[in-house]
Amino acid sequence: MNRRQFLQKSAAGLACSAIGNLSSTYADAQPRRVGLIGTGWYGKCDLLRLIQVAPVEVVSLCDVDQRMLNEAAEIVASRQASKKKPRLYKDYREMLKEKDLDLVLIGTPDHWHTLPMIEAVKGGADVYVQKPVSIDVVEGQAMLAAARKYKRVVQVGTQRRSTPHLIEARDRIIKEGKLGTVGLVEICCYWHMRARDNPPDTAPPEYLDYDMWVGPAPMMPFNRLVHPRGWRAFMEYSNGIVGDMCIHMLDMVRWMLDLAWPLHVSSTGGILIDKKSRANTSDTQTATFDFGNLQVVWQHRMWGQAPDPKYPWSATFYGDKGTLKASVYNYEFFPQGQDKPAAQGEPLYEYERYPEDRTEKDLEKHCASAIRWHMKDLLAAIETRGKPVADIEQGFISTASCILANLSAKLGRSLTWDQAAGRVAGDEDANRLLLRPYRAPWVHPTPETV
């Protein structure tokens, strides 16, 4: 079976096991009512892929940036079957108060994932929430507790688990034992993606409710680096490069190798080169996730050259029978002792079926099929009330592991995670950092209070 046949079979298998024929699934049912909170870059990418694969009706959009919100409303109206403009909201609480949504997508900055997700599941909606699920560990614990308490399906946007060529690599290389015993996986990001300039603070633009944008996070003076899309440069609103990029690769490795929690997490790094930027996230960091008989080692460096220019953001699996290199752009399998790949694959582009992918603004075209497959998997779980491939528990494990790496770098020591207790073993200083104080009047959720 060649890789085109494999991908077609995988797609067919996903459709059949998941939601079957979409047209027949919804033939006698009203389209699911959908709302999006956070109408920026990936919020729109996710929502528009959902519109492509299911007859949903987008009835609500929410954003604190009025210009972004209005633009999203025009795009959605042009793309959904009804051609109707969704209702528009600035406050997600007003949107969710309607209790008329079947599915809520959350594409906000990282510090705004938790409270809307918990409110949505309380209101009876299933949820698609972007990664990392939370800013701190206790937020993630509360989100998992809420999903289970209210019996809602929650898919996390770690869509490597639904990336066609990576499914192929997992099934045809790893699961077939071609790597042998894997003892080390190196994951990395060498893209120069960290903000480098240092503009002055200004008043926020009139179309942005900045106080609501900051929400429960620490208040900082407005700076054009923060919004739009620059908030990842600040630890106040993100988990840095580790929380943005490492989580994807770590989650992919955990999924491919069927791993749960790391036993120990250690990390070192900091701002070693780019000391002039306004950004306060590390430009260089190494983290080791110790799974016992397997080490997963992360490295990011936002300067210099990548060791392998073909794989600047990737995972390399080292087995005693071979090596697998995998990224969002390709994979290659090298049997032991061979310098030419015995198998390789690239992204699945579906332009014939979804021609709008070619022209959609800011769409990562190589990721479009992965988002669609991720949405199909979510719809499957909603139909069966089962767990999706990137269930909230899996997203929480990957998120919390990355947060622990940042805490290890901050504290200067390795951390041992006690999965049963949900705490760091024997380290009260670390445990005090598992919950970040909220800015008033917002109240930090816990598993006991959701």
pLDDT band at 330 (very low <50, low <70, confident <90, very high): very high
Q: Where in the chain is the domain with CATH 3.30.360.10?
A: 161-198+223-362+393-430
The closest alpha carbon to 163, from 11, 382, 299, belongs to: 11
Closest CA to 393 of 136, 138, 160, 154: 154
- The kind and range of the H/E element at 186 are strand 182-189
Position 261 confidence tier, pLDDT thresholds 50, 70, 90: very high
Q: What is the mean pLDDT of residues 185-203?
A: 96
- C-alpha–C-alpha distance, residues 135 and 258, integer Å: 25
Of residues 14 and 350, the one with the higher pLDDT is: 350
Under 8 Å between Cβ of 395 and 389? no
* In the predicted structure, residue 10 carries a pLDDT above the cut 90: no
Q: Which pLDDT does position 368 carry in this prediction? A: 98
pLDDT category at 6 given cuts 50, 70, 90 is: low
Give the range among 4-18, 78-92, 107-121, 363-377 with minimum mean pLDDT. Answer: 4-18
Predicted confidence (pLDDT) at residue 212 exceeds the cutoff of 90: yes
**CA separation for the pair 255, 110 (Å, rounded):** 22
- The Cβ of residue 349 has, within 10 Å, a number of other Cβ atoms equal to 15
Query: pLDDT at residue 433 above 60?
Result: yes
Contact 145, 450 (CB under 8 A): yes
As a whole number of angstroms, the longest Cα–Cα distance in the chain is 62
1: pLDDT strictly greater than 70: no
Mean pLDDT, to the nearest integer, of 328-332? 98
Which pTM does this prediction carry? 0.95
| CATH class of this structure's domain 161-198+223-362+393-430 | alpha beta
* Predicted local distance difference test score (pLDDT) of residue 13: 52
pLDDT class for 382, splitting at 50, 70, 90?
very high
**Which tens digit of pLDDT belongs to each residue from 271-294?**
999 999 999 999 999 999 999 999
pLDDT at residue 7, as a whole number: 61
Q: Quick one: how far is CA 350 from the chain centroid?
A: 22
| Average pLDDT value for the chain | 94
Has residue 64 got a pLDDT over 60?
Answer: yes
pLDDT band for position 17 (cuts 50, 70, 90): very low
Backbone angles phi, psi at 344, to 5 degrees: -160, 160
Please give the pLDDT value at position 9: 59
The model's confidence at residue 96, banded by pLDDT at 50, 70 and 90, is: very high
Task: Please state, in angstroms and rounded to a whole number, the distance separating the CA atoms of residues 341 and 325.
Answer: 10
pLDDT of 81 over the 80 cut:
yes
Mean pLDDT of 181-194: 98
Contact 51, 354 (CB under 8 A): no
In the numeric block, which tokens belong to residue 81? 């079957």
Reported confidence tier of residue 334, pLDDT bands at 50, 70, 90: very high
| Confidence band, pLDDT 50/70/90 cuts, at residue 30 | confident
pLDDT, residue 26, reads 42
Residue range(s) occupied by CATH 3.40.50.720 in the chain: 16-160+379-391
Report residue 435 as tokens.
């919950």
Q: Return the percentage of the chain with pLDDT > 70, whole number.
A: 94
Higher pLDDT, 18 or 237: 237
pLDDT at 19 over 90: no
pLDDT at 316 over 60: yes
CA atoms of 26 and 28, how far apart (whole Å): 6
Statement: residue 20 has pLDDT above 50: no
| Answer CATH for 16-160+379-391 from 1.20.120.350, 3.40.50.10540, 3.40.50.720, 3.30.450.20 | 3.40.50.720
C-beta of residue 104 within 8 angstroms of C-beta of residue 93: no
